[in-house]
Amino acid sequence: MPDSDLYDVTIIGGGPAGLFSAFYSGLREMKTKIIEYHSFLGGKVHVYPEKIVWDIGGLPPIPGQQLVENLTQQGLTFDPEVVLNEEVISIDKNEEGIFIIEAASGNSHYSKTIIVAVGGGILNPKRLPLHNARDFEDTNLHYAVKYLKDFKNKRVLISGGGNAATDWAKELSGIAKEVYIACRSDFSCHESQITYLKNNSVVCFTQTEITKLEANRAGDRIEKVELRNRESGVVQHLQIDEVIVNHGYERDTSLLENSPLDIQITDNYFITGSSSSESSVPGLFAAGDILHHDGKLHLIAGAFQDAANAVNQAKLYLEPEATKTAMVSSHNEKLYKRNEKIVEDLLKE
């Protein structure tokens, strides 16, 4: 194997955790590769380009698309190798201690360390379990909201009770003509979201599920939805223009299941690790939602800390005499010159 094919660290997943890992590994002067299943970087945030992200400290509320652009620009600062449209199907380790990453394409990638940053896995939304649901996926049944303007002055029903579903109810309440949200149990979102929904024009149904989709005469659009209360059994019908289903995502467990390494997992999916992002396999680390440990924070801000920890541990794995953490970013020569330019531009304003 040529040295050019061997990387210090390979990051599996190009979402927020993976991109910040790439940035931080650049600070630590590690030869880095990102492997991403999709044709784009940004992870699940990419699915919600107009969703406002609030939970990154020091950053004003920012649309998802802008956040993706910022994260990508930062992640590519030190020119890591980026491989898109590549599905990783297994990870192994040879006798020399080199990780072998096998892809569905037949490609093999070689790395001294690995950071798994696949989040909730490949983005396969949990579909509405009704026999005719797929008939409307090209018209007015949605599993994500890309553009708010598409729902202007529409009657919208959202199915789901988590943060994503209630976020969309909140965002659409000032745009759509009517917004309904049906939760199959009780809401499991932030308290402030529930308060907002109750105090605004969103009509909330708890313990309620969609039991039938009724089509228009042409048979290509949902015209009416049947709802059933799971406790009382009461059935009602709503005239509707658009239906949004947000029941979460299917977790693709094949990567860890197919890997011969003894990777300890939790709940049949999450990599069981430490707060410093180490896994049960020396040289293999994790960052973001895929990582489980006591005190884990499932926020983008938490993914950044996981990423920095994972890179620091990978650096120490390769060079035990290295410093435990990277220098402050602004001390890096490449970034220092960029910072000087930013300061000059600010002084001119």
Residue 328 pLDDT more than 80? no
Q: Is the pTM of this model over 0.85?
A: no
Asked whether the beta carbons of 22 and 76 are under 8 A apart, the reply is: yes
* 183-242: pLDDT as tens digits: 999 888 878 888 888 788 899 999 999 999 999 999 999 999 999 999 999 999 999 999
pLDDT the model gives residue 176: 95
Q: Taking residues 301-309, what's their average pLDDT?
A: 94
- 127-247 has the same fold as 3-123+250-348: yes
Alpha-carbon distance of 280 to 170, in angstroms, equals 41
Pairing type for strands 222-229 and 208-215 reads antiparallel
Enter the CATH code of domain 3-123+250-348: 3.50.50.60
Q: For 247-256, how does the pLDDT look when each residue is reduced to its tens digit (9 = 90+)?
A: 988 878 888 8
- Tokens 């009416």 map to which residue? 224
* Residue 52, pLDDT above cutoff 70: yes
Span 104-159, pLDDT tens digits: 999 999 999 999 999 877 767 899 999 999 999 999 999 988 889 999 999 999 99
> SS3 for 246?
coil
CATH architecture of 127-247: 3-Layer(bba) Sandwich (3.50)
Domain ranges of the chain: 3-123+250-348, 127-247
